[in-house]
Amino acid sequence: MTPDKVAIRVTSVSHQFGEEGEARHVRALRDTSLEVARGELLCLIGPSGCGKSTLLNVVGGLMRPTTGSVEVAGRPVRGPMPHDIAFVFQENALFPWNTVLENINLGMVFQGVPRAERETRARRALDAVGLKDFSQHYPGQLSGGMRQRAALARALSLETGILLMDEPFGALDEQTRMILGEDLSVLLARSGKTIVFVTHSLGEATFLADRVAVFSARPGTIKEIISVDEPHPRRPDFVTSEKFTTIRNELYRLLHDEIRKTMSAESAAPGPTP
């Protein structure tokens, strides 16, 4: 990859929680390197505790890695970069005391968007996720799927080049998840954003990603990267194609051994340290 095409560069990042010898010491991520191209959607998939969310937080500047470095847009990441990176979290990251519209506005206040611009940006983001009739609702009044649409609208309104999504549909049921996935594919094909998307779902990864990075068991690192050569926006019938099935099965094969390893490590040692 030529340097100007690289949106995110991760160089030999390792991360551990706690100090060695402590009871809570966990090696979450080991010597991971990765390049994400501009406009690419990269999925991170792996057994639980493999460090995929840790990697996402390190990329977004929410955690400092123990060793290694991350560059975004050619600059080293040392903390949150609200003008370059927006997050969508798993759930409950909307402020419950604010309406959907207030949530979106507040994000822009934090980011430093001038007042005059906020209104149009918020409208545009709400239109994009199909929530314009729900701008005055509180998160508690929305379904899980709608809450995640609202969280996505808040991230979109920040108009960053990079979107980091940490199992954004993880708490939703299968059908809602499918529809949101389709909508996301359409939305993102238009926006040209660079996206890193953490998921547990093989189908979701295959459907959304340009490339899927499969993690090994903890302490995780990237075991293999699979390309999904299919243009965005992806059509619903992509799911039933042979290509989809082949890639999904390949991911399953790669992941299966790692999940077994995680399970046996957990049953051998009840503590977090293997």
Partner 1 sequence: MTPAQRKQEKPLASRAVQAAFLIALVVLWYLATTRWRVSPLLLPNPLAVLRDFWDILTTGEFIGDLRVTLTELAAAFAISATSGVVVGYLISRTQYRIRVFEPLFAGIFSVPIILFLPLYVLFFGLGPASKIALGATISFFPIALNTIAGFGYVDKMLVTAARSMGASDYQLFRYVLLPAAWPVVLTGMRMGFTVALLSIIGSETIASLAGLGHRIVHLAEGMEMARMFAYIVFVVMIALILNTLVSVLEARGRRLQ
User: Which residues are near partner 1 by CB under 8 A?
Assistant: 60, 62, 80, 82-83, 85-87, 89, 92-93, 95, 97-98, 106-107, 109-112, 158
In the complex, minimum distance from the CB of residue 23 to partner 1, in angstroms, rounded to a whole number: 17
In the complex, minimum distance from the CB of residue 45 to partner 1, in angstroms, rounded to a whole number: 22
Which of residues 107 and 161 has its CB atom nearest to partner 1 in the complex?
A: 107
Quote the CA–CA distance of 188 and 129 in Å, as a whole number. Answer: 11
In the complex, minimum distance from the CB of residue 106 to partner 1, in angstroms, rounded to a whole number: 6
For the CA atoms of 174, 234, 194, 147, the dihedral, rounded to the nearest 10 degrees, stands at: -30
Which of residues 62 and 189 has its CB atom nearest to partner 1 in the complex?
A: 62
**How do strand 85-88 and strand 162-166 relate by DSSP bridges?**
parallel
Which residues sit opposite 6 in a β-bridge? 37
Element (H, E) at 103: helix 100-111
Helix (H, G, I), strand (E, B) or coil at 179: helix
Which of residues 161 and 248 has its CB atom nearest to partner 1 in the complex?
A: 161
Which of residues 49 and 139 has its CB atom nearest to partner 1 in the complex?
A: 139
Which of residues 60 and 145 has its CB atom nearest to partner 1 in the complex?
A: 60
Handedness of CA 110, 16, 56, 170 (dihedral sign): negative
In the complex, minimum distance from the CB of residue 50 to partner 1, in angstroms, rounded to a whole number: 20
Query: Which of 88, 79, 28 is CA-nearest to residue 54?
Result: 28
